[in-house]
Structure 1
Amino acid sequence: MPPNYDELRKAVNRTSNWRVRLDAIEELGQWKHKRTIDVLLHRMNNDAVYKVVEAAHRNLIKFGEDVQLPPRNKFELIKDANKVFFRIKKSLPAGHTYEEYKEKLKNMRLDLYDTYEGDKGDEFDAWLENVWATASKK
């Protein structure tokens, strides 16, 4: 059992930082114990960022657990995210820039921003700019 188990358990539940969750998953993956396996199983089955899901799965396999990698979510990663994207755009003055939209989204809904940024990776900015550009057409 890792000496900092309680800290790691808290870290894997940080909804606004997928990188912290991923690091905690990797550290927990160094310690085969029922409690660490339980945490990894929960993250594998419940995390919105697929990189975290894959890391939990990989560590569980390493421990000899008989687990299947869940399918990647192809739709909204967070319930009603599209409504939030639209509301944030609508709350900004006419003629605002993409950068202003991006900053407001990050400030108001870091959990949402972080989840999609983690899921989209290098394509995040292009994806978010498209969400911004098409939000008024919905």
Structure 2
Amino acid sequence: MSQETKPEVPANLSQLKKSINRAANWRERLDTVEELGQWKSRETIELLRYCMAGDAVFKIRKAAFRKLRDLGEDVSEPERSNDEPIKGTAKTLLRIKKSLPKDHSYEDFREKVKKMRIDLYDTYEGEKGEEFDQWLKESWNSIVLK
């Protein structure tokens, strides 16, 4: 255990549990993983394992892995999945595009995705990083309305 690691349970554990489940805020989840990694307790290790196994954003799974490894846990590095982080994304984007006027702009589409499905928007923003806007624009362009 490093000097920075504390053997107790953090006083704000219930808040950290809420933050780790905030689907619409990958940055908050990443910050939570960083904070959990400062504590070596059964509860914090369980939460980090939960993140490593199931978070939709790969960088969060990877950060949880690093924190668990730093805490001395025997864990295998997560692999990047080729699956969609959120099932049915293409259908969701199609429905959103259909709901807009025919002459809408990409910016209109992006804002409506953000407004209607912040969880989807945030997850893909976290997963795609700097390529997010290009990915969303390509997705918008590829949707052909009949």
State the TM-score, normalizing by the size of structure 1.
0.97
Q: CA shift at 1:137, angstroms?
A: 6.8
Look up the SS of the partner of 1:85 in the other structure: helix
Instruction: Summarize the alignment of residues 114-129 of structure 1 with structure 2, pairs less than 5 Å apart.
Output: 114-129=122-137
Match of 2:78? 70
Residue segments in structure 2 that go unaligned for 5+ positions in a row: 1-8
2:100: which partner in 1?
A: 92
Letter of the 2:129 counterpart? G
**Is 1:33 aligned with 2:41?**
yes
Partner residue of 1:7? 15
Pairs aligned (count)? 138
Map of 2:30 onto structure 1: 22
**1-structure distance, mates of 2:136, 2:125:** 9
- The whole-number CA distance in structure 1 between the counterparts of 2:69 and 2:95 is 41
- CA drift of 1:73 comes to 1.8
| Partner AA of 1:30 in structure 2 | Q
Q: Please report how far the alpha carbon of residue 75 of structure 1 lies from its aligned counterpart in structure 2 after TM superposition.
A: 2.5
Contact 1:76–1:82, Cα closer than 8 Å, also in 2: no
Q: How far is 1:70 from its partner?
A: 2.0
TM-score by length of 2: 0.91
- Residues 97, 140 of structure 2: 8 Å contact kept: yes
After superposition, the CA RMSD in angstroms is 1.2
Alpha carbons 1:60, 1:67 under 8 Å: kept: yes
Structure 1 spans left out of the alignment, 5+ residues: none
Instruction: Measure, in 1, the Cα distance between the counterparts of 2:94 and 2:84.
Output: 14
Q: Sequence identity of aligned pairs in percent?
A: 53
Moved over 2 A (4+): none
Larger CA Rg, structure 1 vs 2: 2
Equivalent AA in structure 2 for residue 96 of structure 1:
H
Counterpart of 1:20, as a letter, is: E
